[in-house]
Structure 1
């Protein structure tokens, strides 16, 4: 399986969605997930500020020997963090599809409140189908 975990951060860096797609990941406490999201958000903002290129988009990926972390920041400031197997070559395509699912099943839901945790069974089902097909 290419997709290991997904995090969605609101524009202020708060964790609004987290899901693991494999059992081989260590489980963190709810507080640890929140700290992880806030820490990444802070590093992402700093990276975009210290970049020698104006209007830098910040961190796009972090690679290690055991996983790769990929980030897609939307025009509205939402960040999608995707943890994959190392060397995943099509992560940008995976993130684009996940963003499309988010737009279809979260943003078009009239009961979803912006900046609040995502609670959508349809979104979860579609993610499961998509993650299992990758």
Structure 2
């Protein structure tokens, strides 16, 4: 693996994708990355959702949960799919020691946010409080 200037524990970005494939939350956490437009993020998240669904259908293992991770030389994408079909996709450095633990914290933070009576489930999330809590969940502090 190549050495990355961002360090071994860098989380680059997070997507939360609803069960229909719609992007309900997107955030970039690393400085110096190519900036994607909101439309780019929507297209990429939808594409990931579709590939995830295809992978779960063509898997030789019965009841496969689809894609768990995709790894390249410069990044790794890890996915946690909940029983309700919500997908949490975290992009990190390949050497990140615990993307699964980060995804678990992200899921717990999202589940806690569902208690907000003003939030409609599976709709885009636009809340500064949520942004702050998600940053803590992703960065671990």
Task: Place the TM-score, normalised by the shorter chain, in its bin.
Answer: over 0.9
Q: Is the counterpart of residue 66 in structure 1 residue 74 in structure 2?
A: yes
- Aligned-residue CA RMSD in angstroms? 1.3
Give distance in 2, aligned partners of 1:111 and 1:100.
18
Q: Is the counterpart of residue 84 in structure 1 residue 89 in structure 2?
A: no
The structure whose residues are more often helix, as a share, is 1
1:27 pairs with one of 27, 35, 56: 35
Q: Is the counterpart of residue 45 in structure 1 residue 56 in structure 2?
A: no
Q: TM-score, normalised by structure 2?
A: 0.89
Q: CA deviation at 1:64?
A: 0.7
SS at match of 1:23: coil
**Aligned twin of 2:122:** 115
Q: TM-score, normalised by structure 1?
A: 0.93
Gaps of 5+ in 1: none
Gaps of 5+ in 2: 1-8
**Aligned twin of 2:137:** 130
Query: Number of matched residues?
Result: 133
